[in-house]
């Protein structure tokens, strides 16, 4: 499926054709969300279920950032800056989870 912007016909503006691309992507996102909801209730092994949900969520995330956040039409530099921030935020989140996770909340035994 090619989601590139079609050539504009006479009397149609580029914004009009982008509208159709946005509607198509919204339909794709709705279908992926429906698949995710159905997938939860199917009797798959836990690892396969989580892997499938992560994959579908990643696809939805990429559609949203590249089309609805307009990264597809921005300069490459802006996209690189976005992903640098995303990696820094993910690393910070991972470090905080490791620092303040359940193992860190176990009190040390008190020795008088």
Tell me the DSSP string of 30-73: HHHHHHHHHHHHS---HHHHHHHHHHHHHHHHHHIIIIIT-TTT
Q: Which domain holds residue 94?
A: 74-102
**Any domain includes 111:** no
**112 in a structural domain:** no
**Are 34 and 5 within one domain?**
yes
Residues 6+ apart with CB under 8 A from 43: none
Residue 91: inside a domain: yes
Q: pLDDT tens-digit profile of 10-61? A: 555 666 688 898 899 999 999 999 999 999 999 999 999 999 999 999 999 9
User: Cα–Cα distance between 88 and 22 in angstroms, integer?
Assistant: 29
What is the reported pTM? 0.67
Domain count along the chain: 2
In tens, the pLDDT along 47-59 reads: 999 999 999 999 9
Asked if residue 49 is part of any domain, the answer here is yes
Distances in Å between the Cα of 64 and the Cα atoms of 7, 25, 46, 72, 90 are: 23, 9, 27, 10, 18
Question: Are 35 and 60 in contact, with CB atoms under 8 Å apart?
Answer: no
Residue 110 lies in a domain: no
Same domain, 45 and 65: yes
């Amino acid at each position: 499926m090619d989601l590139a912007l079609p050539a504009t016909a006479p009397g149609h503006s580029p914004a009009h054709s982008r509208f159709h691309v946005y509607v198509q992507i919204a339909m794709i996102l709705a279908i992926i969300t429906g698949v995710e909801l159905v997938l939860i209730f199917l009797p798959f092994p836990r690892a396969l279920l989580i892997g499938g949900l992560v994959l579908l969520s990643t696809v939805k995330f990429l559609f949203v950032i590249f089309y609805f956040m307009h990264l597809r039409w921005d300069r490459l530099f802006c996209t690189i800056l976005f992903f640098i921030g995303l990696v820094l935020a993910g690393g910070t989140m991972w470090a905080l989870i490791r620092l303040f996770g359940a193992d860190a909340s176990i009190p040390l035994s008190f020795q008088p």
